Structure 1
Amino acid sequence: MDYAHPEILVDVDWVEENCLKKGVRLIEVNYNPEKAYFKGHIRGATLIRWEDMIKEESYVDKAFGQAWVAGMDAYDDGLPRDILDRGEFEKLMSKHGIERDTKVILYGDHGNWFAAYAFWLFKIYNHQDTCLMNGGRTKWELDGREYVLEETQVQPTKYKVKSDSEGDFRASLDDVYDSLDAKDMRLVDIRSPEEYSGETTSSKDLGLEEMDKKGHIPGAVNVPASDTVNKDGTFKGHDELLELYKSHGVISDESVVTYCRLGERAAHSWVILRYLLGYPNVASYDGSWEEWGTARGVPIKTSCKPDGTDVNKESKPEKKSKGWGGGFWGRK
């Protein structure tokens, strides 16, 4: 069976033939560009770094009604990250020479995880013609295709966002917290089995520092991102993906929320569930373990079994308002 929305994917042949055409903007999205883009990239590609898509500043933790600032003991691994606001997103798009009708092709390192995060962000701000190059750098390199070193120069534009879909595509800490006992919600942990069980909090691919709190959000099922792709980095077929998620109880009749450590793998699986399988109610909790694992008063499970009882039930403070995103639940 074909994907529900095959139009959001292009293959490496299409990119090689069309990447320099007018109206097409090819963007490489990197977690570590020094080990990727700057060592060689597809001709015509501009660069978006991971940090270009997030805010790196203190914020008011609305979920618990307290103001957090850099250096507070409540956070183990720096401050939680927020997405670009509308104006910042417009500046990013303008910098890359993107118009409202530009066809944007995203690809990147680390299994296309961060390219998928960019895809999710572009869809939040409703840039309609956004695609992923299936397989990312992994597929391109396995095929032995050409890279270039010269950086692409583009003419800046004056991009304007017309509307956003944040409430449909994004879940907050409060959304997840308030729905832990919901019967019609499925929480999907995209991290490795070792991260899920509490052995570690760091993906081997990213080399992140360990966090003090380990485990997973109670009720979450573990469907690692690595199980959803082929060896060449391309997505597995529709039927194989559907069987994988169904085997973990993730069905289209329920609301689904994905999460990981930083939000990038969560976005990768969000793309699969929403666009490749066509699940209607899927959101990404981009705060993910960086936020949940540093927040006070949230429950954490360290058992690797779905029905395990090894749960650290912390006190549950009164919440005063919605945190990041929000508005996902009840929007069927």
Structure 2
Amino acid sequence: SATSVKAATFNAKVHPEYLATMAEVQKASASGTYLIIDARAENEYDGTNPETTLDRPGHVPSAINIEYTNMLDAKGKLKSNDDLKAIFAKNGVTKDKTVIVYCKTSVRAGIIFHVLTSALDYPNVKVYDGAFLEWQLKTSNKVLQ
């Protein structure tokens, strides 16, 4: 038999402190005081994806590539916290820096955001909500391959 569920109202709360603007990413890229993670596949990061729909493929200057799928095991579940810690440690991602995560449209970046904030307790993590899609459209922004 079907389970009966009582109707309720869900009120989402926006947390602007978790969102990075293009201006903040520009500053972060130029300063080196932040750590920027590109959560896309390597061929998207390096601009060699033959199926790209972007005008200017590549990545934000100073961004490192940690593909979001590295967070998942063979069954598509999150890896253990020890395995996740090792991935970020190997890439120099430390809790003392502000971390900005992006992908093409902010969906894949959300997985790394969740891992860093909820599983690993990183205190200063943001998602660049405009994502690489927005970044590459502004012609004054550098794009590296």
Give me the TM-score of the superposition, normalised by structure 1: 0.41
Q: Is the 8 A contact 1:201 1:211 kept in 2?
A: no
Alignment-mate amino acid for residue 29 of structure 2: L
Q: 2:139 matched to 1:296?
A: yes
Residues 1:99 and 1:301: Cα distance change in structure 2 (over 3 Å): closer
Corresponding residue for 1:213?
56
Counterpart CA distance in 1 for 2:48 and 2:41 is: 10
Corresponding residue for 1:190?
39
Alignment-mate amino acid for residue 28 of structure 2: S
Superposition deviation, residue 269 in structure 1: 0.8
| 1:283 alignment partner, SS class | strand
Counterpart CA distance in 2 for 1:244 and 1:187 is: 15
Q: Is the 8 A contact 2:28 2:35 kept in 1?
A: no
Match of 2:95 among 234, 247, 252: 252
Corresponding residue for 2:127?
284
| 1:300 alignment partner, SS class | coil
Q: How does 1:1-332 map to 2 (within 5 A)?
A: 20=3, 22=5, 97-99=8-10, 122=12, 125=13, 164-166=14-16, 168-200=17-49, 210-302=53-145
Superposition deviation, residue 294 in structure 1: 1.0
| Stretches of structure 1 lacking an aligned partner (at least 5 in a row) | 1-19, 24-95, 101-121, 126-163, 203-208, 303-332
Which structure ranks higher in relative contact order (CA pairs < 8 Å, sequence separation ≥ 6)?
2
Superposition deviation, residue 182 in structure 1: 2.5
Q: Is the 8 A contact 1:201 1:261 kept in 2?
A: no
Percent identity over the alignment? 25
Aligned pair count? 143
| 2:69 alignment partner, SS class | helix
Superposition deviation, residue 232 in structure 1: 1.1
| Stretches of structure 2 lacking an aligned partner (at least 5 in a row) | none
Superposition deviation, residue 296 in structure 1: 2.0
Superposition deviation, residue 97 in structure 1: 4.0
Counterpart CA distance in 2 for 1:249 and 1:261 is: 23
Counterpart CA distance in 2 for 1:201 and 1:262 is: 18
Superposition deviation, residue 165 in structure 1: 1.9
RMSD over equivalenced CA pairs, Å: 1.9
| 1:289 alignment partner, SS class | helix
